[in-house]
Amino acid sequence: MIVDFSIAPVGKGESLSASLVEVFELVDASGLSFEHHAMGTNIEGDWDEVMALVKACRDRMLEKAKRVSIFLRIDDRLGVTDGIRRKVASVEAKRRH
């Protein structure tokens, strides 16, 4: 399963990077395959692992803000591993250079 995940505190100003440092640390320490990007993070793992990480990130963010906005987009495909890299590689292999 791949989850495109973003989380943001509500009411904490325009720049969010300082609020997201601890979330990045939780993702880094999770042991799951991930890829940070400008609008969030792709996380790959089984349902329970990924949702536990999302909950941990939510709980940590709620320690800093009374309101949190979370976006999740899920691609749940049985039998697929290393999907984060394989999906991009598949498209790149088909591009005309």
Instruction: Give tens-digit pLDDT for 70-91.
Output: 999 999 988 877 778 777 777 7
Q: In what order do the strands lie in the sheet with 68-75?
A: 33-37, 40-44, 2-9, 68-75
pLDDT (tens digit per residue) in 22-53: 999 999 999 999 999 999 999 999 999 999 99
Direct distance between the N- and C-terminal alpha carbons of the chain, in angstroms, rounded to an integer: 30
- Going from the C-alpha of 69 to that of each of 37, 58, 72, 76, 95, the distances in angstroms are 17, 9, 10, 22, 36
Q: How many CB atoms lie within 10 A of CB 16?
A: 13
Q: Domain 2-94 carries which CATH code?
A: 3.30.70.930
Question: Whole-model pTM above 0.75?
Answer: yes
Q: d(Cα 19, Cα 65) in Å, to the nearest integer?
A: 9
In the chain, what are the domain boundaries? 2-94
